[in-house]
Amino acid sequence: MDERIFQLDVPGACARIDAECDPPRLEPDGPATMTGNHWYAFMVGIGETVGPIELALCWPPAAHQVGGEYAGNHPFAEVLDRIIFLDHGDGHWQRLEHVERHEDVAHILVPPGPAGRRLAVGMPVTGADLDDLLAIARGGAHVEHIGTAPEGSPIHAISLGDAATARGSLVISAYQHFSEWAGIRMVAAMLRYLLGEDQEAEALRRRWRWIFYPCINADALYLGWQADPQADKGINLNRDWGPFVQPQTRAVRDHMLSTLASGPPLRHLLDLHMGWHSRDTCGAGLTVFEPGAAEAHLIDTQAAFARHLYDRADYTDFIWHHGGVDRPNFAGWATGTFHVPGQTLEVSRHRWRRRADNAWLPPSPELERRLGRAVVECLDTFHQDRKD
């Protein structure tokens, strides 16, 4: 097959290709291990094809994946038949059906189509997606450049709402880990909703000050896994909220402390991630600290908010009893510093729960956008009548 069909010069490309094999063999490009993630990123551009092309996507074996904090995680190859997507050149990811998986290899049939397409595991975002999000924010929110990642990528904060009337501040952050794509898509949906001209959006801006950190790991988003501190130096940004070794976490910490010092006070923090465990579990869930790991009323509030969201969103019903104020992640630091609930919200990579009938849904950008709006609505309704 003509290797020019495969394009590695598209933003976010992350692949190794052997076009001499029959069918052509593709693999994710990445380090030997991604400690703490147990999965790799894969994306490649696809040129014009007049007929369908058969490909073999080969995933790293389990021995190179499992380790670190989550040694019980299964090989990510288990769900390759559920999570291969094609962008037809219009930025809309569509899941490929009829993918056949044999152990660590997925056999794919890519339909014919024009140049400009992208094939990926998952629905990745790139720097262009963050730029689009910031353009949305500049349509009515305050956008600040609050710091710079080690390789020069900018770190931003976004705030909106009337501080004079707001009952409190709500903080939402995303993309601490390379290729956890859902958070940026969710934040973009939140901003579109909050910046609307309808009465509902205006009321949300009056009641709360909303603060977003849409991409903490900016180098990894703009420059790829080679610039990710976890892959490059073994530094997990979400374990740096205590030592604060990295400029990314220091920038967000300093901005939060200075911004919240003038009020209104913080009421809740959600840190958006993507989870993974096995084929039979979705990997999604909200963290609720283990008993004794924080003040009891804060743990109770975490659990109450999880139930509130689960009852109102197509997402999951799993509560992850994990973490505490002594754990150096963003949720633990925020809870211990501000004495309010901080939680990690994990989004599934491979299946979603529909609350109406408990059916499982395949992932899609639309489900991620809908969850973003649901999170805003649930933070609002949950905290409106609470005194804590």
Residue 273: the pLDDT is: 97
Distance of alpha carbon 279 from alpha carbon 212, whole angstroms: 32
* CATH code where residue 213 lies: 3.40.630.10
Residue 54 sits in the same domain as residue 133: no
Residue 81 sits in the same domain as residue 136: no
From 106, 121, 136, the end of a domain falls on 121
Residue 199 sits in the same domain as residue 342: yes
Tens digit of each residue's pLDDT (9 = 90 or more) over 254-277: 999 999 999 899 999 999 999 988
Residue matched to tokens 């670190």: 68
Residue 155 sits in the same domain as residue 97: no
Residue 107 sits in the same domain as residue 132: no
Residue 209 sits in the same domain as residue 78: no
Residue 89 sits in the same domain as residue 226: no
First to last CA, the chain: 63
Residue 72: CB atoms within 10 A of its CB come to: 9
From 121, 149, 171, the end of a domain falls on 121
Residue 148 sits in the same domain as residue 101: no
Residue 82 sits in the same domain as residue 139: no
Which tokens go with 58?
Answer: 């080969």
From 121, 149, 176, the end of a domain falls on 121
Residue 110 sits in the same domain as residue 207: no
Torsion of CA 94, 98, 101, 107, to 10 degrees: -80
CA Rg value for the chain: 21
287 three-state secondary structure: strand
Query: Taking the complete model, does pTM exceed 0.85, yes or no?
Result: yes
Residue 252 has pLDDT above 50, yes or no: yes
Tens digit of each residue's pLDDT (9 = 90 or more) over 41-70: 899 999 999 999 999 999 887 554 445 677
Read off the pLDDT of each residue in 279-285 and give the average, rounded to a whole number: 93
Residue 78 sits in the same domain as residue 147: no
Residue 306: CB atoms within 10 A of its CB come to: 23
Which domain covers residue 82, as residue numbers? 3-121
353 three-state secondary structure: strand
* CATH code where residue 94 lies: 2.60.40.3120
Residue 217 sits in the same domain as residue 321: yes
Which has the closest alpha carbon to 53: 3, 105, 9, 121?
Answer: 3
Residue matched to tokens 């990894």: 220
If one counts the domains in the chain, the total is: 2
b/e map of 73-112 (b: 16 or more CB within 10 Å)? Answer: bbbbbbbbbbbbbbbeeeeebeebeebebeebebbbebee
Q: Predicted confidence band at 35 (pLDDT cuts at 50, 70, 90)?
A: very low
Tens digit of each residue's pLDDT (9 = 90 or more) over 148-190: 999 999 999 999 999 999 999 999 999 999 889 999 999 999 9
